[in-house]
Copies of this chain bind each other. A is one copy, B any other.
Amino acid sequence: MPQTQILSRNQKIVLDIIEKAKGPLKAYSILFNVQKKGINAPQQIYRALDKLIEMGKIHKIESKNAFVACRSSDCEISKATAFSICESCEMVDEISDAKLSKYLSGFNYRKGMKFKRFNLEFFGICKKCKKD
């Protein structure tokens, strides 16, 4: 298992644009932004996104169908993700909190199964939006 993943051309292009973005990006907005680089079809975007998610380089914000770069080192390959989402400006922050992560990773629902993975999305109004 290689420490540093080698990215393909398209994967690099897609990761690059997501990393540079200030907020979550939608697949088709990525597509429109990379057409000058010779990527023409949704498939090319979705394939890159899938691999980047597998590698833990990006995450999908399920409630928004959008993608953000991983800013956290302790979210090992996307097995434990948590986000803070502003319902006004759409800002998304990855939450990196060891206690929270530990609490949820260890959570066992009595009548249920053993969990392999979780995704948590918090919603509210961010400080910046509250000032308005």
Contacts and interface: CB of A to CB of B under 8 A. Distances in A.
Nearest to A84: B112
A113 to B, nearest CB: 5
Nearest to A130: B113
Given A100-B107, A115-B123, A118-B123, 19 more contacts: A84-B115, A86-B113, A87-B116, A93-B109, A93-B111, A93-B112, A95-B109, A97-B109, A103-B103, A104-B120, A112-B126, A112-B127, A113-B124, A113-B125, A116-B123, A117-B123, A118-B120, A119-B123, A120-B120
Interface of A: 62-63, 84, 86-87, 93, 95, 97, 100, 103-104, 107, 109, 111-127, 130
